[in-house]
Structure 1
Amino acid sequence: MTTPDVEFRPLALPESVDSPDAGDLLEMVHVRNLVYREITGHDDDAMPADELLPHLRSSEYETRKMWIVLEHGRVIGRVGVDLPLEEGSKVAFWLIELLREAWGRGIGSAAYEIVESYARENGRSVLQSWAQHPTADGPRLTPPTGFGEIPEDHAARFYLRHGYSLEQIERESAFDLLAGFGAVESLLAQAEAASSDYRVLQWFAPTPAEYADGYAWMKSRMATDAPAAAMEFDEETWDAARIAEHDARYTDVGQTLQVTAAQHIATGELCAFNELVVGKDRTTASHQEDTLVLKDHRGHKLGTLVKCAGLISWRALVPDSPRVITYNAEENRPMLDINEAIGFAPIAYNGAWKKVLS
């Protein structure tokens, strides 16, 4: 799609960042990182192109499509749509990210036409998206869950104008890895005392074969067991092959992924896990990815167990990483209680937005 000054060009992914055709990717990643800095005021969400590239590729589990937005030949943003490939899926996830200089000129709305058209072409009727809404004065919006609020800012007005409803607030929190660990150590001791029927296991990706099936089952429960409000997620099928594909997206580019799990001693079942990730540059922020306790094993402080055990080993592994970033639904009080006790503090709030196409 092209206007007189603006072009939306499909992004062709190169074999590597060193390929002769990597120019569009490199410019896209540069602008992506600038957009996040404009929104957040920091670079904790920045990624180098070689580490982002594997996460942009389609797989047998998901189709990923991206366009770069150019004005007078210069990249000013990107548009992305992800289509889960679970059987019968009606869901599409999307993003539109533009430099602030491009706001207010209809470029975002033109980009959204691409999103909705692509979703319809692929039989998707449930469109969902997330955006950070920095603190601002003025009117507020509250989701139907009743937990949390965001300002009715530029991004919120964009979603509302295009027929979206705010369904959930997601809290972004940070834990200072360079501060004292007394609370973490104390909480770990309490969790160990409350979970004597369980042991802690840890590994780094790639996942050892003996843990692949159990880890796969827990990953499959993320889509069904985590609080989602009215957002829709397909039940996912995970197996050892999908775990291997998941792990490779990190290990192939030199990122470190640590998994801390709780194993039920009597049965050998893996029943809780926590993931921590850092890029090749270990002086950058770490990110806590998925954390889950299987429903049948809740009530034994396993969430505290895997989080605290993970953080303690992580600090020794990456002593120069300044903080860990994590995200939780604002209504997920059990997990937020754990995070707050550990020392995670809220730094931002994201809106989860949804539209059902007619």
Structure 2
Amino acid sequence: MEISKLLPDDEAGCAEAVALKNSAAKLDCPEMLQPTARSYANMLRYGWDMEPEYAYLARDADGNAIGLLGMGVNLYDNTNQVWIDVDVHPDHRGRGVGSALFEYGESLTRELGRDTIGYGCVDLPKADAFARRHGFVQKAVEVNRRQDLTGLDYGVVQRLYDDALAASTSYELTKLTGPLPEELLEDMVTLTASINDAPKDDLDMEDDVYSPARLRAYEEAQSKSDHTVYRVIAREKSTGALAGHTVISVERERPHIGEQHDTAVDRAHRGHRLGALVKSAMLLWLRETEPGLTQVDTWNAESNDHMISINEQLNYKIVARILAYQKKI
């Protein structure tokens, strides 16, 4: 078996990686959304916010792709950590491929001078046993939910919006696509950092660190990946303070697919139903501007009861439970 780095300009290699991921997902969690070859290459180029991911393909003696190691190397915060994903083609499981990729990822982590590896896998008994056998300790559960817009009752959405609007008369909404206006940038740094109040459970993680440069990097990465970013921002009328926001990114390659990137309310402005307000306003807006959009995926800690309760009102259903592990090396 040979393991080699996958570069984003390797179109054939990215296509092989995606085919392998699809084969693994078909067995492990067929409903989970998988990238296209193009979007996978863009993650290797730009990442989420110009923090590119890394990938390594394992091939057998005949050159067939049999395993894939993905690595996220934090640059903005938690710089002692690396997060990995491991996929093994179903036809090659039980032959040491996954173990070899784990060991390879650990070696790369040591070379980077980092001391913690994070790992996530679908909640399956064999996957859990595999992680624990390699010294990982489960620290959290993340849940992937999907909103089916074709079956969404927009009467429910409108009522949620109307009720939230009545509870938040001191606030007004701003809708934006594309880059943030310069005059909002500094305040958006503070508001975006509100996501740090979301549950981390037992994960050994520092708060995310945001800056104007990082927000601009996020916009750049999404634009270069051919995604349209929609924002709904709640602002306090009397002070102009930014109080809450929600962000959805829509793929242009697959315009029926959207992803919830953020929803957060500043601690000083909670208790006015701003989370429900911005999320319902977003849906009503996207119904007009993205008529081809049929699904939106979101991720939450399983313990995030407040956000989950809003999502369940908006026709989100569970797609997958992901067990999150960490290991000190």
Residue 143 of structure 1 corresponds to none
- Which one is further off, 47-56 or 329-338? 47-56
Give, in whole Å, the separation in 1 of the partners of 2:166 and 2:129: 49
Residue pair 1:205, 1:256 contacting (<8 A) in 2 also: yes
| Cα offsets for 1:128-155 (capped at 9, x unmatched) | 122222xxxxxxxxxxxxxxxxx5x221
Instruction: Give the secondary-structure state (helix, strand or coil) at the position aligned to 1:41.
Output: coil
- Shift of residue 95 of structure 1? 0.8
Q: 1:58 to 1:47 in 2, by over 3 A?
A: closer
Give, in whole Å, the separation in 2 of the partners of 1:327 and 1:200: 24
Residue pair 1:61, 1:85 contacting (<8 A) in 2 also: no
Matched, 1:304 2:276: yes
- Which one is further off, 279-288 or 113-122? 279-288
How much is the aligned-residue C-alpha RMSD, in angstroms? Answer: 2.2
Matched, 1:347 2:310: no
Q: 1:282 to 1:80 in 2, by over 3 A?
A: closer
Residue 130 of structure 2 corresponds to 158
Given the two structures, how large is their TM-score scaled by the length of structure 1?
0.84
Matched, 1:10 2:38: no
Residue 144 of structure 2 corresponds to 172
Give, in whole Å, the separation in 1 of the partners of 2:283 and 2:292: 13
Instruction: Give the secondary-structure state (helix, strand or coil) at the position aligned to 1:178.
Output: helix
Matched, 1:201 2:174: yes
Give, in whole Å, the separation in 1 of the partners of 2:315 and 2:34: 24
> Equivalences for 1:181-330 in 2 at 5 Å?
181-222=154-195, 224-330=196-302
Residue pair 2:59, 2:65 contacting (<8 A) in 1 also: yes
Alignment-mate amino acid for residue 203 of structure 2: M
Matched, 1:53 2:41: yes
Given the two structures, how large is their TM-score scaled by the length of structure 2?
0.91
Give, in whole Å, the separation in 1 of the partners of 2:14 and 2:146: 29
- How many equivalent residue pairs? 326
- Which one is further off, 119-128 or 83-92? 83-92
- Shift of residue 81 of structure 1? 1.8
- Shift of residue 49 of structure 1? 2.6
Give, in whole Å, the separation in 2 of the partners of 1:29 and 1:347: 19
Give, in whole Å, the separation in 1 of the partners of 2:200 and 2:215: 23
Residue 16 of structure 2 corresponds to 27
Give, in whole Å, the separation in 2 of the partners of 1:87 and 1:338: 29
Instruction: Give the secondary-structure state (helix, strand or coil) at the position aligned to 1:127.
Output: strand
Residue 66 of structure 2 corresponds to 76
Give, in whole Å, the separation in 1 of the partners of 2:150 and 2:79: 43
Give, in whole Å, the separation in 2 of the partners of 1:96 and 1:348: 17
Unaligned runs of 5+ in 1: 1-5, 15-20, 134-150
Unaligned runs of 5+ in 2: none
- Shift of residue 347 of structure 1? 2.8
Give, in whole Å, the separation in 2 of the partners of 1:282 and 1:22: 18
Instruction: Give the secondary-structure state (helix, strand or coil) at the position aligned to 2:296.
Output: strand
Q: Percent identity?
A: 27
- Shift of residue 50 of structure 1? 2.6
Alignment-mate amino acid for residue 240 of structure 2: G
| Cα offsets for 1:242-286 (capped at 9, x unmatched) | 222211222223222111121122222222121112211455332
Structure of greater relative contact order (alpha carbons < 8 Å, 6+ residues apart): 2
Alignment-mate amino acid for residue 290 of structure 1: D
Q: 1:292 to 1:31 in 2, by over 3 A?
A: same
Instruction: Give the secondary-structure state (helix, strand or coil) at the position aligned to 2:180.
Output: coil
Instruction: Give the secondary-structure state (helix, strand or coil) at the position aligned to 2:169.
Output: coil
Alignment-mate amino acid for residue 28 of structure 1: A
| Cα offsets for 1:224-249 (capped at 9, x unmatched) | 22100111333343233322221122
- Shift of residue 94 of structure 1? 0.9
Residue pair 2:145, 2:316 contacting (<8 A) in 1 also: yes
> Equivalences for 1:42-121 in 2 at 5 Å?
42=31, 45-57=33-45, 62=51, 64-71=53-60, 72-86=62-76, 89-121=79-111
Instruction: Give the secondary-structure state (helix, strand or coil) at the position aligned to 1:237.
Output: coil
Residue pair 1:187, 1:342 contacting (<8 A) in 2 also: no
Residue pair 2:70, 2:84 contacting (<8 A) in 1 also: yes
- Shift of residue 221 of structure 1? 3.6
Residue pair 2:116, 2:327 contacting (<8 A) in 1 also: yes
Matched, 1:122 2:117: no
